Amino acid sequence: MSTVPLIFEKSTSGKRAITFPRCDVPEVALESLIPSELLRQKPAALPEVSEIEAVRHFTQLSRRNHGVDVDFYPLGSCTMKYNPKVNEEVCRMPGVGFAHPLQPAETAQGNLKMLHTMEQWLCEVTGMDRMTLQPAAGAHGELTGILLIKAYHESRADLARKKVIVPDSAHGTNPATAAMAGFEVVSVKSNADGSVDLAALREVVGADTAALMMTNPSTLGLFDPNVTEVAAIVHKAGGLVYYDGANMNAIMGYARPGDMGFDVVHLNLHKTFSTPHGGGGPGSGPVGVKKILEPFLPVPVVQMQGEQYVWDWNRPQSIGKVHGHYGNFGVVARAYAYCLAYGPELKEVSEYAVLNANYIMAKLRDYYDLAFDRFCMHECVLSAKTLRNEHGVKTLDIAKRLLDEGVHPPTIYFPLIVEEAIMIEPTETEDKATLDRFIDAMQRIAKEAKEDPERVKSAPHTTVVGRLDEALAARKPNLRYRGD
Amino acid sequence: MRYIPITQADKAAMLRDIGVSSTEELFAANIPADVRLTRPLQLPPAITEMEILSHVAELTKSNANLQDYACFLGGGAYDHYIPSAVDTFLRRGEFLTAYTPYQPEISQGVLQVIYEYQSMVCALTGMDLSNASMYDGASALAEAAGMVVAQTGRKKVVIAGSVHPNYRRVVKTYMHGIGVEVVEAPLDHCELDLNKLAGLITEEVAGFIVQQPNFLGHVEQVRAIEAMVHAKGGLYVVCADPISLALLEAPGNYGADIVVAEGQSLGNAPSFGGPYLGVMATREKFARRIPGRIVGATLDTRGQRAFVLTLQAREQHIRREKATSNICSNEALNALAATVYLTLVGKEGLREVANLCVQKAHYAAARIAKLPGYQMACKSAFFKEFTVNCPKPADEINKLLLGKKILGGIPSSVDYPHIPNAMTIAVTEKRTKGEIDALVAALGEVK
Amino acid sequence: MSGNVPANLRYTKEHEWIKVEGNVGIVGITDYAQHHLGDVVFVEVPAVGRVLKAHEQFGVVESVKTVSDIYCPVSGKVVEVNTELENAPETVNQSPYEGGWIIKVELANPAELDTLLDAAAYAKHIEEA
């Protein structure tokens, strides 16, 4: 199966998959209802296929794709853990999947209660006081969190605070988010272990500091031992501290960002809480806050009024809304089911996530460089620096060679502060045989890099397509089917 | 230990290889004692799969839902028919459990679906390129506002008051972040007041946003508005209903610069407000300004056509604080649903769905307008939603309708107080004549 | 890799070069820069007529995996931009000092040229990088 034609290329004029019942009300000419200048002149060029052709098309496409359900997917900081199938049943229950957002709150009490309960559970896990479930993704949560911080400073007429400090080990969304909220980004040096350089931090904090954004463990998979000091330094300067919860899978039940001094936290339900990535989304990025930021939360907020759950829109200091409705409720429902499945045993999730990552690190330390020689948390960062310098084999080549093993490569070239970085996050849901198979493949590729580097550099060999010409894609963008 | 397949024997062997006697050592090596949580998490004890299902069923069974109730609610979320085959693909593990297609060699499935999705969006909207989707219509609209500001350098955006109230809130929240003023253009009854609009569109305005059909269901004079906006050098953003685009003119054909839509109508369950689908499409000249991911076609080393994420240099992971947006994900699974939906209904089927909505909505409106105490709030044209004045506040009427297993329309006087006792009613292809007649009868009983 | 560093040009630390012809400076990016960027896919150029200050960012060079801001070595008014790059951005890779020129500026203050690096100084700068 070399290529699968586009669905448009399979279309035949006049074919249809789905038909609808005849119109059961008297029909009137469209032109008598809507001015003709507002009507479409030519029908939209959509596909025309039968149902079996449609089903085969998408089935064939799915078979050209890797997923957690297929095999190992150790992307660092993405937490590609198993997505429980019972969660798929839960989000499809009639009261969940087929509830309308605008139906009166009295008719959706089960859903409001679910939101209220999730808020409490996530606050318990993170050590925060209140949580909004409205952001639809991690980056969306970041924007919400930074806007909350902005609103806080504005409410105190503290308008000189125009800067957000971001460690140079941070994910790209952090500075992009700060810019979207109108802040200037100041980069602060990380130490070799990814922790914040305290001396460098003291140099850059001041009366113009709105916030510091960081993730802990850092993007090197290591816990910042000075985290409470970092928070204290920023607080002393009058700024607030933001926690990027992408790496929460490392610490559930062991530590809580609220206890480390963070004022705002975002979580990624599609990472830590097992909701499926879906090929790129939908996710959910709840944001937790300490009491001082509660007045600014997006509307509406779920509150209890006696025995009833209600939507509270009466919040004059709210930043407004970041989503059309209440967020990705269908994703929250999946995470709710996940929390029901674990309860306080979420701690074991983190325990085994950390065990698995350290096991991989222990088995590969003699084959690759370590970014930092210390027990890691839920992910380990290796480097192909020596392999590149001595044999010309880069991290990119190793990643492509892994594809031949049926394994999705780890995250590559991130964090930026590690040369030829390979960031591996196995998660807790992998069995030992899978971990050993990955370790074996990585060891063999490292050997091959020394003995037959060309084989690695010309990979992949067995995938449905070879390496792609990304320069061509960007120079001559072909972004849609244009017909004949 | 639900989804953790490591046995105690495995664990012991692994700890030996790592060189520690317990996992506690790994945590102690990282987390300082003074930030350790020293008590168990206070969460309800773990329950089994069977118990999870009965727990959630019990929790949500008292909710009204669109399977048990005839739904006349719209406002961006509609009870459209979702063909069975759509869910087949939302459950396929290769689509459901895949990550963002950063390694194209093993992600050709997702990449090709998104390319086909982008193509269909362009076909519907009449635009040159579409991104791979955004969180929802409201946030996509806010990102479009950000785009017009970045493109023109102007610091003011005007938005029609007839745009969905929640969407307007989201636009304001985002624009506050970058210090851009948002001005609302007032209505004349159910549509924009074009005379007042003319005064608001100046050379300081980066762009104007209109919704077609608008929140109250009525159609706006989109061609006349285009002339006004472009005359002052601003950009024209149209927020369209995707089903309506089967019959209403594509915004690309009347001068839109950016088209945004809420794609929930295309094969996505109402799901209490999310996950939804933010559709965004634009002209070729803005290709490097559009936020979000984009999939492009190219060739591989064997000369075969293949698909890859492209124009990534605009995105956060490369451009960081100069990125077009901070957006990192899309709603890939929802875009898949839309792509499968549009393939199943096809060119003719979408027109049929749209026509059924129009016919049924007009039948309902005509019958309701004849009831004593009810009248159409406006005489202007509408598509699948319309607004009526009722003899009592709409939320009171809705309470009575609930008893008859009917979800009544939106009480739109809340956001449009100049229309008294207003109810905005949506009628989709799923509403039978019987259900519509039952609604009319129930409304007629209101004293 | 130090790449080609023509002797008759002036350079900035940010890897732009400038060639002076009369009162006009022709500006582009160096061989070292294009090599590190990889395949150039897009060059964003300013409008003709735009007035730039020395070291002001005037455009962007985009490759598949990265994006680089480009800064004007001198103050002046943009009198011409290389429209060929729209269809053939790879010219920047293939011919960074000739066909791959990006803008031409009318010099506002020729004395600024003396503050730029000469070929030897630039070659040293990239050796040390």
What is the complex's ipTM, to 2 decimals? 0.97
Tokens representing A386 are: 């020596």
Tokens representing B209 are: 């946003």
Give the count of alpha carbons within 13 A of C124, CB side only: 5
Of the candidates A366, A370, A375, the one whose C-alpha atom is nearest the C-alpha of residue A250 is A375
Of the candidates A434, A442, A402, A462, the one whose C-alpha atom is nearest the C-alpha of residue A71 is A434
Give the count of alpha carbons within 13 A of B305, CB side only: 14
Tokens representing A395 are: 């991290």
| pLDDT at residue A171 is higher than 80 | no
Q: How many CB atoms lie within 10 A of CB C21?
A: 8
* Alpha-carbon distance B104 to nearest alpha carbon in chain C (angstroms): 14
pLDDT, average across residues A306-323: 97
A311-315, B169-173, B285-289, B341-345: segment of lowest average pLDDT? B285-289
Distance of alpha carbon A269 from alpha carbon A11, whole angstroms: 39
In chain B, residues with a C-beta closer than 8 Å to the C-beta of A281 are 133, 135, 275, 329-334
How confident is the model at residue A465, as a pLDDT?
A: 83
Q: Each residue of A14-28: pLDDT tens digit?
A: 999 999 999 999 999
B307 and B428 in a single domain? The answer is no
| pLDDT at residue B15 is higher than 60 | yes
| CB spacing of B329 vs A137 below 8 angstroms | yes
Q: Neighbouring chains of A at 3+ CB pairs within 8 Å?
A: B, C
Phi, psi of B30 (to 5 degrees): -110, -50
| CB spacing of A471 vs C41 below 8 angstroms | yes
| pLDDT at residue A329 is higher than 90 | yes
| pLDDT at residue B149 is higher than 70 | yes
How confident is the model at residue B382, as a pLDDT?
A: 97
pLDDT, average across residues B43-68: 97
How confident is the model at residue C2, as a pLDDT?
A: 53
Q: Each residue of C108-119: pLDDT tens digit?
A: 999 999 999 999
How confident is the model at residue A219, as a pLDDT?
A: 86
- Find the domain containing B266 and state its range: 84-342
The CATH number of the domain covering residues in A349-470: 3.90.1150.10
pLDDT, average across residues A65-78: 93
| CB spacing of B304 vs A3 below 8 angstroms | yes
Look at residue B332 and tell me if it is in a domain.
Answer: yes
| pLDDT at residue A242 is higher than 60 | yes
Distance of alpha carbon A416 from alpha carbon A220, whole angstroms: 10
In terms of CA atoms, which chain C residue is nearest residue A472? Answer: C41
In chain A, residues with a C-beta closer than 8 Å to the C-beta of B96 are 67, 69, 83, 88, 276, 278-279
| CB spacing of C42 vs A470 below 8 angstroms | no
* Alpha-carbon distance B288 to nearest alpha carbon in chain C (angstroms): 10
pLDDT, average across residues B192-214: 97
Helices B137-152 and B165-177, axial angle in degrees (round to 10): 40
Q: Each residue of B221-262: pLDDT tens digit?
A: 999 999 999 999 999 999 999 999 999 999 999 999 999 999
C42, C64, C89 ranked by CB distance to A470: nearest: C64
How confident is the model at residue B329, as a pLDDT?
A: 79
In chain A, residues with a C-beta closer than 8 Å to the C-beta of B39 are none
A283, A277 contact by CB (below 8 A): yes
In terms of CA atoms, which chain B residue is nearest residue A178? Answer: B321
| CB spacing of A475 vs C42 below 8 angstroms | yes
B306 and B367 in a single domain? The answer is no
pLDDT band at residue C121 using 50, 70 and 90 as cut-offs: very high
Give the amino acid at C100: G
pLDDT, average across residues B427-440: 98
| CB spacing of C42 vs A471 below 8 angstroms | no
In terms of CA atoms, which chain C residue is nearest residue A474? Answer: C41
B236, B207 contact by CB (below 8 A): yes
A117, A336 contact by CB (below 8 A): yes
| CB spacing of B313 vs C44 below 8 angstroms | no
Q: Quick check: A252 contacting B, CB < 8 Å?
A: yes
Look at residue B391 and tell me if it is in a domain.
Answer: yes
Best residue in C44, C57, C67 for a mutation probing chain B (most B CBs within 10 Å): C67
| Residue indicated by tokens 């087949």 | B88
pLDDT, average across residues A158-162: 95
B75 and B88 in a single domain? The answer is no
How many separate domains does chain B show? 2
> Which residues are paired to B70 by β-bridges?
B406
In CATH, what number is assigned to the domain containing residue B135? 3.40.640.10
In CATH, what number is assigned to the domain containing residue B370? 3.90.1150.10
Average predicted confidence (pLDDT) for chain A: 95
How confident is the model at residue A484, as a pLDDT?
A: 55
| CB spacing of C67 vs B288 below 8 angstroms | no
* Residue that is last in its domain, among B290, B312, B342: B342
* Alpha-carbon distance C73 to nearest alpha carbon in chain B (angstroms): 22
Q: Quick check: C30 contacting B, CB < 8 Å?
A: no
In chain C, residues with a C-beta closer than 8 Å to the C-beta of A470 are 39, 64-65
Q: Each residue of B97-112: pLDDT tens digit?
A: 999 998 898 899 999 9
Q: Neighbouring chains of C at 3+ CB pairs within 8 Å?
A: A, B
Look at residue B32 and tell me if it is in a domain.
Answer: no
pLDDT, average across residues C24-52: 92
In chain B, residues with a C-beta closer than 8 Å to the C-beta of A111 are 60, 63, 272
3-state secondary structure of B7: coil
Domain ranges of chain A: 7-62, 87-344, 349-470
pLDDT, average across residues B369-379: 96
Distances (CA, A) of B306 to A2, A64, A318, B345: 10, 11, 46, 26
Distance of alpha carbon C49 from alpha carbon A466, whole angstroms: 46
pLDDT band at residue A175 using 50, 70 and 90 as cut-offs: confident
| CB spacing of A474 vs C42 below 8 angstroms | yes
Angle among Cα A219, A426, B330 to the nearest 5 degrees reads 65
How confident is the model at residue A387, as a pLDDT?
A: 95
* Residue that is last in its domain, among B342, B359, B393: B342
Distance of alpha carbon A63 from alpha carbon A55, whole angstroms: 12
Distance of alpha carbon A319 from alpha carbon B63, whole angstroms: 29
B408 and B281 in a single domain? The answer is no
Q: Quick check: A416 contacting B, CB < 8 Å?
A: no
**pTM, full prediction:** 0.94
Q: Quick check: C64 contacting A, CB < 8 Å?
A: yes
Distance of alpha carbon A409 from alpha carbon A435, whole angstroms: 13
Look at residue B48 and tell me if it is in a domain.
Answer: no
pLDDT, average across residues A170-193: 87
What single string gives the DSSP state of each residue in A225-273? TTHHHHHHHHHHTT-EEEEEGGGGGGTTTTB-HHHHT-SEEE--TTTTT
Q: How many CB atoms lie within 10 A of CB B4?
A: 23
Q: Is domain C10-110+117-122 classified as CATH 2.40.50.100?
A: yes
Tokens representing A314 are: 């009466």
A46, A75, A344 ranked by CB distance to B99: nearest: A75
C41, C42, C67 ranked by CB distance to B318: nearest: C67
Name every residue in A having a CB less than 8 A away from some CB of C: 470-471, 473-475
Q: Each residue of B274-290: pLDDT tens digit?
A: 999 999 999 999 988 89
Q: Quick check: C39 contacting A, CB < 8 Å?
A: yes
| Residue indicated by tokens 């310098």 | A389
pLDDT, average across residues B160-180: 97
CATH of A87-344 among 3.30.470.10, 3.40.640.10, 3.40.50.970, 3.40.50.1360:
3.40.640.10
B88 and B119 in a single domain? The answer is yes
How confident is the model at residue B316, as a pLDDT?
A: 59
Q: How many CB atoms lie within 10 A of CB A381?
A: 29
Q: Which residues of C86-121 are buried (b: 16+ CB within 10 A; e: fewer)?
A: eeebbbbbeebbeebbbbbbbbeeeebeeebbeeee
* Alpha-carbon distance B319 to nearest alpha carbon in chain C (angstroms): 7
Q: Each residue of A112-139: pLDDT tens digit?
A: 999 999 999 999 999 999 999 999 999 9
Q: Each residue of B296-352: pLDDT tens digit?
A: 999 998 899 999 999 876 665 666 666 667 887 789 999 999 999 999 999 999 999
Average predicted confidence (pLDDT) for chain B: 95
In chain A, residues with a C-beta closer than 8 Å to the C-beta of C42 are 474-475
Distance of alpha carbon B372 from alpha carbon B361, whole angstroms: 19
